[in-house]
Amino acid sequence: PKVTAASASVEHFAPSNIALCKYWGKRDQALNLPVNASLSISLDYLGSFTRVEPVENGVDEVWLNGHQLLPSSRFSQKVSAFIDLFRRDQDLHFKVDTRNNIPTAAGLASSASGFAALTLAMNDALALDLPPEHLSVMARMGSGSACRSLFTGFVEWEMGVREDGLDSHGVQLEQTWPGFCIGLVEIDAGEKATDSRSGMQRTVETAHLYQSWPLQAAADLSKLQQAIAERDFELLGQTAEQNALSMHATMIASWPPLLYWQPESVAAMQKVWQLRAQGMQVYFTMDAGPNLKLLFQQHDRAELLQHFPTLETVEPFGN
């Protein structure tokens, strides 16, 4: 982008997103170009508020949930490197203040909403006026999954074919699904030991099983598109759950092994399978962390809450 003068403080919100077909593996590390296309649902009001304002002291300042981070911290460095894409060679620095209303680093993709909100804020601060798909390309360079958080509802991340990545961005699907619910089962909100970036790199480099992943993901993506078009909840749930478990199988087959599950994660999976055996249409998906995200429909919410009393539920399209 062409840079003009930096303006005063601006704030933007972007939602977190949960992938039904996961992004796992890069064909280009520097540009965050994925090996496979993915499909997610944005979480409505759960996400990140990011405020950006110019500072005069010659370095970026990064704040997360009310605390200033050390410039040497992983997140600070990632944010500063991302701002480099906007400021280019200009002597412009910013205070970036991000507040998440979801647990940070607990596998709830706060980096996705954070970089999406930061992209919107930088676009405003520098008066760039970029179109949505270009904003999504920029967000992707901060964190791959952030390109999906630029949009609401169902979003497909088209992997693209270009080497410069300009065709690798999120696209919002037209379809809605009133009554579609996501439930967050928090197993552990602590910081995870291996972040997604190094986790997916390790999987690509060491797991033979990963060779089967691109085909699995492509097949799952078409099933999900069909399920969304026909509002076939069973097809959607089965596909999303199998996709997540397939991704985790490639992680477990890495070396050193990458197992994000805790005993309570497995217990929650078994509870979901038990409820399904009793006839309830409830499915789960999991990301690079121990927490489960449940997929279900509004008419099952009350009964599901009896089995998962602390469930935080979101209805991305209302009910």
Q: How far is the CB of 198 from ligand 2P0 (least distance, A)?
A: 8
Cis peptide leading into residue 34 (ω within 30°): no
Stretch that binds ligand 2P0, among 108-116, 117-125, 225-233, 251-259 (CB under 6 A): 108-116
Min. distance of Cβ 298 from ligand 2P0 in angstroms?
Answer: 24
- 121 in contact with ligand 2P0 (CB under 6 A): no
Among 109, 135, 139, 304, binds ligand 2P0 (CB under 6 A): 109
62 contacts 80 by C-beta, under 8 angstroms = yes
Report whether 158 contacts 171 (CB < 8 A).
yes
Segment interacting with ligand 2P0 (CB under 6 A) among 19-27, 89-97, 292-300, 301-309: 19-27
Q: Which stretch binds ligand 2P0 (CB under 6 A): 16-24, 49-57, 161-169, 258-266?
A: 16-24
The two beta strands, 26-28 and 33-34, are antiparallel
Binding segment for ligand 2P0 (CB under 6 A), chosen from 55-63, 138-146, 167-175, 263-271, is 138-146
Of the CA atoms within 13 Å of residue 269, those in its CB half-sphere come to: 14
Among 42, 50, 98, 196, binds ligand 2P0 (CB under 6 A): 196
Per rule CB under 6 A, is residue 287 in the interface with ligand 2P0?
yes
| DSSP type of residue 255 | S
Which amino acid, residue 205? E
Q: How far is the CB of 57 from ligand 2P0 (least distance, A)?
A: 28
Which of 233, 292, 287, 289 lies closest to 19 in space, CA to CA? 287
Contact between 236 and ligand 2P0 by CB under 6 A: the answer reads: no
CB of 24 to ligand 2P0, least distance (A): 6
Q: Nearest CA to 145 among 286, 227, 22, 242? A: 22
Q: Strand 180-185 to strand 292-297: parallel, antiparallel, or no bridges (unpaired)?
A: antiparallel
Q: Is 38 in the site for ligand 2P0 (CB under 6 A)?
A: yes
Q: Which of 25, 114, 144, 160 binds ligand 2P0 (CB under 6 A)?
A: 144
Shortest distance (Å) from residue 139 CB to ligand 2P0: 10
Q: Cα separation of 115 and 121, whole Å?
A: 10
3-state helix, strand, coil in the chain (%, to 5): 40, 25, 35
Kindly state whether residue 19 participates in binding ligand 2P0, applying the rule CB under 6 A: yes
143 lies in the site for ligand 2P0, by CB under 6 A: yes
Which residue stretch of 21-29, 159-167, 249-257, 273-281 sits at the interface with ligand 2P0 (rule: CB under 6 A)? Answer: 21-29
Does 145 sit near ligand 2P0 (CB under 6 A)?
yes
Strand stretches in the chain, DSSP E: 10-21, 26-28, 33-34, 38-55, 61-64, 67-68, 93-100, 154-158, 169-172, 180-185, 283-286, 292-297, 312-314
Q: Rule CB under 6 A: say whether 114 interacts with ligand 2P0.
A: no
Which residues contact ligand 2P0 (rule: CB under 6 A)?
19, 22-24, 32, 38, 109, 111-112, 143-145, 196-197, 287-288
